[in-house]
A and B are shown apart, each in its own frame.
Chain A
Amino acid sequence: MNTHDPIVGRYVYVQCEGKTYRTYYEEHGEGIPLVCLHTAGTDGRQYRHQLCDPDIAQNFRVIAFDLPWHGKSIPPSDFYLMEDEYKLTTRFYCEFIVAFCRALDLTKPVVMGQSMGGNVCLALALKYENEFSALIALEACDYSPGWWIDPLHHPHIHGGEVVATSVFGLMSPESPDEYRWETWWYYAQGGPGIFKGDLYFYSVDSDFRDQCQKISGKLPIFFLTGEYDFACTPEMTERTAEKVRNSECIIFGGGHFPTSEDPAKFKEVITPVLKKILGLDPERRGQGGARAGVTDLRSGGRSERPAGRRVIDL
């Protein structure tokens, strides 16, 4: 019998800033919507392990979308007429996330983003706190300078190789080689200039150092950063979390791409966070969780069939 992942992929048309974006997303699970934001220059495949995880899927509808220009989402149709290079702005990024959630009729989703997807959580908390129920900011801080540089998009330099290799050292040397190189591969596949353009948001347009204190605290925010992250060090996350009301900060022995570079380790660190979010929002947990009663989130790995499914052999 053939083996399939339980993930389902679809395209949705998202309106944002006067344009329509055919947007690819993948999902699995039921319960609280958990919208996952990929890192700069890559796509939702970074969440493939979490999308397949039966323990998470019991209580969360896990959704990972590809931003316009990324993965299987295409650029706007007139991109070839642009008079400036591609640059992701804080405004567009926030508005697109909100527009995507509305396009899927999601009610108060949890957002989990890593790297630039983690940093944008601060902007969401500042401007869109009523749209979400919790934020999980992986490898996030209030200011990440130094990455909007020309070598990452230069006609004399192989974009895929340089982009992927420039982020390789952000991973823990103790993360499994298989997954570190899979993460490298995602980066190598980005469109020309997209990684650099995303880093315009990451390093230039999103300086929240003077804004963190303005976050109301209405939304719980969980910061998680790996000790090998040299773009957003544990100290940078800790300093940020100290300024943000109703936040928690967890430092763990990993790197900048926890969801894809070491999914087993990530499961250990994210499980208590997801339990807390469930505790804050018990009535929205998935049917799988309700049937199963106490969810055993300790079991590792993915399953080939949805957890919580009752099977009787006769």
Chain B
Amino acid sequence: MSRSGSSRKSFDLEWIERWARCVNDDRILPVIGRFFTSRFVLGVDETEYLIEVRGGKIQRIAEGLTPNDLGYDFGLKAPSSAWMKFSQRIPPPMFNDIWAMAHPLHRQLIIEGNTLPFWQNLRALTRMLSLMRQV
């Protein structure tokens, strides 16, 4: 617990990898995320992680973006302090959901880019991100 607790604070690539493996072990996502194929960015402070998803499973993660990535579909960007609260086992009010954090009343998280695939896959994406609470 202490290991994950301390590394959670950094939200480094190793932490993202543990989360991605947790996502890929999940038995619900292949069902509800069957059509979730996308490349999105998880922004933590100034760091951007490119997450490549196919059929609800994460196929690739990368720290930072390069010209060879040719961009991405959408980005979810928030300060690490917000992701920290979001990823608690029982997150506090206003940080328990990405739409809660992004809602114009709260603006803790920015949804940028083409938000159509974001909304289209909201159910699977919500499940995927909620697994951060198990990392």
Contacts and interface: CB of A to CB of B under 8 A. Distances in A.
A145 interface: yes
A156 B104 CA distance: 23
A161 B90 CA distance: 24
A228 interface: yes
A154 B119 contact: yes
Interface string A85-121: 0000000000000000000000000000000000000
Which of B105, B106, B116 has the most chain A CB atoms inside 10 A of its CB? B105
Contacts of B99: 166, 169
Interface string A205-231: 000000000000000000000011111
A233 interface: yes
Contacts of A169: 96-100, 126
What size tier do the contact residues of chain B reach? Answer: 20 to 34
A146 interface: yes
Task: Tell me what chain B mostly uses at the interface: helix, strand, loop, or mixed.
Answer: loop
B119 A162 contact: yes
Given A151-B119, A157-B119, A230-B97, A173 B105 contact: no
A158 interface: yes
Task: Tell me what chain A mostly uses at the interface: helix, strand, loop, or mixed.
Answer: loop
Contacts of A173: 90-91, 96
B126 to A, nearest CB: 6
A146 B103 contact: yes
A146 B120 contact: no
A274 B101 CA distance: 34
Contacts of A172: 96
A268 interface: no
